[in-house]
């Protein structure tokens, strides 16, 4: 059975309730029409958790990805905000883990979210790939949802299941809440072309929530499509500025050249941490016999910080805080706030 195309408030509220349940946040919507099929429980090394639900009296399922919690591993996943190629492999010595989130050579994805998604997908016991094979019949419709970090990871999981499906006949529809940016513009183009254009992927955003504004992003001239007149102005391309000293000076005043120079230093400082995360992924999934060190892991890092959101936006206008609520930096971000705003603003 295929999903009905388009945004459906009943679907969105039901999935927001499942996101609240995994975050242990009460909201006024009971889950009596859902049956829990699988709970990964929290597992190391990055404190991941997801649940699989089945809607009673139907053949419909829901994958629910938990968002960030207050633990080092979970927060590190958010902070590893640089881009890696979206269709590549994690290489280590003579072995590798291949993955594909989007096929375009210019598509790239958030490194921390991508490693987290692969761990949730490929864990030998608790991973989505094996659990869908065991628990979900062929042809079943499956919702994919998540809040915050879980929204970005759920978006990448949706892409992965399209390109490397556990069962080609499964149908997917996604609703994510407070999504931080999961990749660059070419990843978003691919995701939106495949799913958003068909009315099967939505991201719900509160206008006063700061999390969907992350990661911090800037667009360099090297991020612009080619050919373009900006090619001659690109400070990262070979020696293109040597014959244009006035342009060289102009870009220096804007700080663009410094951005390019500092990028390498920033990536170097983050690389050890993401290599450690990748090493734990490899050891968890494949358990190689030989001893590995983080420096053995080779990552397909992309020289860009141009992050963009993915999926069709459903925009909620936030209600300004007052009093003690303004002391809570996550007041606008909570799934209970999203549930309340949807109920108040999207009812017809």
Q: What is the pLDDT of residues 260-315, one digit of tens each?
A: 455 556 556 555 666 666 666 666 665 554 555 555 566 788 888 899 999 999 99
Show the domain range for 58: 9-220+278-345
Residue 202 lies in a domain: yes
| pTM, to two decimals | 0.84
> Rounded to 5 degrees, what are φ and ψ at 30?
-80, 160
Contact of 142 with 58, CB cutoff 8 Å: no
Determine the pLDDT at residue 251: 43
Q: Is residue 58 part of a domain?
A: yes
Cβ burial, residue 122 (10 Å; 0-12/13-18/19+): buried
Q: Hey, which residues does 175 pair with through a beta bridge?
A: 145, 202
Q: What pLDDT was estimated at residue 250? A: 45
Alpha-carbon distance of 237 to 77, in angstroms, equals: 31
The helix-helix angle for 111-122 and 72-79 (nearest 10°) equals 130
Whether 108 is in a domain gets the answer yes
Report residue 48 as tokens.
């991941």
What pLDDT score was predicted for residue 299?
74
* Domain-embedded: residue 337: yes
Q: What is the pLDDT of residues 8-55, one digit of tens each?
A: 999 999 999 999 999 999 877 778 899 999 999 988 777 889 999 999
Question: 58 or 94: which carries more pLDDT confidence?
Answer: 58
Give the total number of structural domains in the chain.
1
Residue 47 inside a domain? The answer is yes
- Return the number of other C-beta atoms located less than 10 Å from residue 69's C-beta: 15
Tell me if 97 is assigned to some domain: yes
How many percent of the chain have pLDDT more than 70? 74
In-domain check, residue 315: yes
pLDDT at 228 over 90: no
Instruction: Please report where in the chains the tokens 């761990």 appear, as a residue.
Output: 119
3 in a structural domain:
no
CATH of the domain at 332: 3.40.50.1820
Q: What is the DSSP letter of 121?
A: H
Could you tell me which residue, 189 or 225, shows the higher pLDDT?
189
Q: Is it the case that residue 165 has pLDDT exceeding 70? A: yes
SS3 content of the chain, % helix, strand, coil (to 5): 40, 20, 40
To the nearest whole number, what is the mean pLDDT of the chain? 83
């Amino acid at each position: 059975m295929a999903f009905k195309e388009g945004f459906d408030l009943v679907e969105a509220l039901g999935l927001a309730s499942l996101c609240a349940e995994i975050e242990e946040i009460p909201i006024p919507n009971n889950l009596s029409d859902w049956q829990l099929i699988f709970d990964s429980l929290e597992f190391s090394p990055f404190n991941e958790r997801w649940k699989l639900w089945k809607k009673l009296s139907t053949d419909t399922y829901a994958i629910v990805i938990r968002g960030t919690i207050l633990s080092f591993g979970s927060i590190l996943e958010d902070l590893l905000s640089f881009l890696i190629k979206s269709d590549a492999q994690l290489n280590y010595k003579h072995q590798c883990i291949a993955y594909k989130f989007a096929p375009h050579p210019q598509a790239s994805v958030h490194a921390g979210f991508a490693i987290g998604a692969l761990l949730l997908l490929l864990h030998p016991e608790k991973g989505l790939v094996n659990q869908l094979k065991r628990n979900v019949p062929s042809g079943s419709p499956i919702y994919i949802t998540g809040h915050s970090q879980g929204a970005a990871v759920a978006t990448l999981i949706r892409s992965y299941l399209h390109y490397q499906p556990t069962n080609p006949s499964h149908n997917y529809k996604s609703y994510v809440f407070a999504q931080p940016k999961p990749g660059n513009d070419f990843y978003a183009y691919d995701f939106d072309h495949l799913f958003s254009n068909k009315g099967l992927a939505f991201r719900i955003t509160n206008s006063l929530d700061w999390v969907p504004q992350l990661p911090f992003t800037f667009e360099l001239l090297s991020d612009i499509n080619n050919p373009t007149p900006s090619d001659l102005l690109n400070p990262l391309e070979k020696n293109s500025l040597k014959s244009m000293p006035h342009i060289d000076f102009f870009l220096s005043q804007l700080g663009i050249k410094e951005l390019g120079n500092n990028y390498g230093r920033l990536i170097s400082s983050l690389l050890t941490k993401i290599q450690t995360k990748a090493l734990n992924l490899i050891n968890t999934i494949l358990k190689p016999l030989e001893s590995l060190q983080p420096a053995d892991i080779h990552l397909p890092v992309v020289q860009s910080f141009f992050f963009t959101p993915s999926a069709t936006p459903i925009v909620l206008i936030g209600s300004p805080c007052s009093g003690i609520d303004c002391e809570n930096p996550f007041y606008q971000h909570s799934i209970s706030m999203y549930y309340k705003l949807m109920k108040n603003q999207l009812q017809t």
